[in-house]
A and B are shown apart, each in its own frame.
Chain A
Amino acid sequence: MSRALALAHRLSGIALALFLPAHFYVLSRALELDAFLAWTEQPLVKLAEWGLVTLLALHLAGGLRVLALEFLPWRDWAKGLAALAAGFTVAAGLAFALAL
């Protein structure tokens, strides 16, 4: 479980790192925000947004797991953190999907 989460954590990190310059670029042109937001109404874009939110939640959850393992006193339940991280990711993705 931890191995799969670690791989997902890495892939989501790469995806987010590559996405950020585009994200920053769009926001810097905020004066044209309405035109851009009209474009984001398309279902495919909504799906991509949901994907990004899920990737971010996944990367956050996986990252918090690493910080917990490295800095908190070791406990046996530490082995269950991967499952907890996965659960949080699903919850966040669901929350965003429902909000849409």
Chain B
Amino acid sequence: MSATLQVRVWRGGARGAYREYEVPRRESQTVLDVVTHIQRAIDPTLAYRYACRVGMCGSCAMTVNGAPRWTCRTHVDKVARDGRLAIAPLRNLPVIRDLVADMREFFDKWARAQGQFKGARTRADDFERISPDSEARRRADAAIECIGCGVCYAACDVVAANPGYLGPAALNRAWTLVNDARDAAQSGRLRAVAGDDASLACHTHMSCTERCPKALSPTAGIAGLKRAVSRAALQGKL
């Protein structure tokens, strides 16, 4: 194991350049440790995001050697070939500065996919009984753990090629709601996830499923949406 790492870090906005830093290598070091060292000991002007640093919040997502990852859960040993690292902001999102990506369109698309729960009952009504073993609830549960980190969005080739595409996270969340028996906004949501910019644009490259740090499978959810949407179209309900 070499004593130092050669780390190239993106500096600037949409236009910028990689700058090279030398960082001391330590045991059990994560990529977040490396970025933090650069900012605290070498260059305080480096902008980057993190919060929990233990793999719960998703704030530290960046592009590491070409792939989107949670930097707090990426051990340097796993990714630094010959002691070299290249760190950049998440792909497919505008860059605010250095390693900080602008997440607004990511969440705007979440809203456009109608990724919000809309209930029909009031506090005066009794609870709706949902069995955790029902098929629909199992499907929703398999996809529900998304924390909106943006890694899948950064990994997606269709997002890169089609600026209007809603993306895997937004569609995955819509899928959990399509399977939620309590939700009252189903027909509007199906319309929102139909069409050239939504579920039908997914080409099943499966980069999202491959890279999701929570091992979710947006591909599966999007496939479900494709079926639901085409069924509705054929029945004249779209």
- Using CB atoms and an 8 Å cutoff, list the residues of chain A in contact with chain B: 2-3, 6, 10, 65-66, 69-71, 74, 78-79, 82
Contacts and interface: CB of A to CB of B under 8 A. Distances in A.
A74 B205 contact: no
B204 A69 contact: yes
Contact of A3 (B205, B219, B220, B227): B205
A69 B219 contact: yes
Given A3-B205, A66-B203, A70-B227, 16 more contacts: A2-B205, A2-B206, A2-B207, A2-B210, A3-B157, A6-B204, A65-B204, A69-B204, A69-B219, A69-B223, A70-B223, A70-B226, A74-B217, A79-B206, A79-B209, A79-B210
Contact of A74 (B207, B210, B220, B226): B220
Contact of A71 (B207, B209, B210, B227): B227
A70 B204 CA distance: 9
A29 B206 CA distance: 44
Contacts of B207: 2-3
A72 B220 CA distance: 10
B204 A2 contact: yes
Given A3-B157, A66-B204, A74 B223 contact: yes
B220 A6 contact: no
A6 B223 CA distance: 16
B63 to A, nearest CB: 16
Nearest to A69: B204
Nearest to A4: B205
B140 to A, nearest CB: 13
A10 B204 CA distance: 12
27 contacts: A2-B204, A2-B205, A2-B206, A3-B157, A3-B205, A3-B206, A6-B157, A6-B203, A6-B204, A6-B205, A66-B203, A69-B204, A69-B219, A69-B223, A70-B204, A70-B223, A70-B226, A71-B223, A71-B227, A74-B217, A74-B220, A74-B223, A78-B220, A79-B206, A79-B209, A79-B210, A82-B206
A79 B220 CA distance: 11
Contacts of A70: 204, 223, 226-227
Nearest first, the 8 closest Cβ-Cβ pairs linking A and B are A74-B220, A2-B206, A6-B205, A70-B223, A3-B205, A69-B204, A66-B204, A2-B205
Contacts of B220: 74, 78
Contacts of A3: 157, 205-207
A74 B227 CA distance: 13
Contacts of B209: 79
Interface string B155-167: 0010000000000
Nearest to A72: B223
Nearest to B230: A70
Contacts of B157: 3, 6
A74 B172 CA distance: 14
